[in-house]
């Protein structure tokens, strides 16, 4: 029987996450800032800048915000209240979901099949107004969130 040569080992580089439809990064479910930062780093092109800006706005507007990645998307919540916001990469936009967005004043413009959820689509050529976005984030964090019975 022929003996095979042992394989040479080389230092492994961290594999880039796979990009799913629309360029959404495939990131394993995880709690805390690390999986969210991995998601932000893997967002393609201009979307990464939008994600980092949004993450910074949320952290500033909601001290002690709880972060996680669920269903290949960053989620933001308040402990004991549930998730108030998540976002996702699509082909031409970053879609921000306010889980109780219909209760925000004024509500974000994008309707959903769920009567409580409202969306804001961010396009490369049309960045959002940070002041308005921060007001929505603060309002959303004060409402009972989605999945409040889960460990948030």
| pLDDT, tens digit (0-9, with 9 covering 90-100), for 24-42 | 899 999 999 999 999 999 9
Domains, the chain, ordered by start = 21-142 (3.90.1150)
Three-state secondary structure of 62-104 = CCCCEEEEECCEEEEEECCCEEEEEEEECCCEEEEEECCHHHC
Instruction: Give the chain's end-to-end CA distance (angstroms, integer).
Output: 57
For 7-17, the pLDDT digits (tens) are 554 444 456 78
């Amino acid at each position: 029987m022929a003996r095979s040569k042992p394989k040479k080992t080389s230092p492994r580089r961290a594999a880039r996450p796979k990009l799913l439809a629309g360029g959404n990064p495939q990131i394993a479910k995880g709690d805390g800032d690390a999986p969210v930062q991995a998601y932000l780093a893997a967002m393609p092109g201009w979307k990464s800048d939008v994600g980092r800006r949004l993450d910074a706005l949320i952290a500033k507007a909601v001290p002690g915000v709880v972060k996680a990645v669920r269903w290949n998307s960053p989620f933001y919540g308040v402990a004991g209240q549930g998730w108030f916001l998540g976002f996702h990469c699509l082909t031409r936009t970053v879609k921000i979901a306010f889980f109780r967005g219909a209760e925000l004043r004024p509500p974000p413009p994008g309707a959903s099949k769920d009567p409580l959820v409202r969306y804001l689509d961010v396009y490369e050529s049309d960045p959002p107004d940070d002041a308005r976005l921060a007001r929505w984030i603060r309002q959303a964090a004060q409402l009972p969130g989605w999945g409040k019975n889960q460990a948030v």
